[in-house]
A = this chain, B = another copy of it.
């Protein structure tokens, strides 16, 4: 997975049927690489540090099986103390 900062969200009225109902988060990988848009599976929001699963991994959950997404927010990283 990639550690990413959630930087915002994306609104798309016109989309493939399978994407309906998902929150689409804009995320930026901490390890470098450009901005991505990922479906949210854990209730993350702007400012959170999250883990994003890419590729087929994004579809290995009950919510996302068969959904045309290549990225999913699968965890919120605990703030370090």
Binding site for B on A (CB under 8 A): 1-3, 10-19, 24, 26, 29-38, 41-43, 51, 53-61, 64, 66-72, 74-78
Let me know if B57 and A59 touch, CB within 8 A.
yes
Let me know if A3 and B35 touch, CB within 8 A.
yes
Let me know if A54 and B76 touch, CB within 8 A.
no
Contact pick for A1, options B60, B66, B69, CB 8 Å: B69
In the complex this chain forms, how many copies of it are found?
5
**How far, in angstroms, from A69 to B58 measured CA to CA in the complex?**
8
Let me know if A16 and B41 touch, CB within 8 A.
yes
A2 (CB) vs chain B CBs: closest residue = B36
**How far, in angstroms, from A24 to B51 measured CA to CA in the complex?**
10
**How far, in angstroms, from A3 to B1 measured CA to CA in the complex?**
16
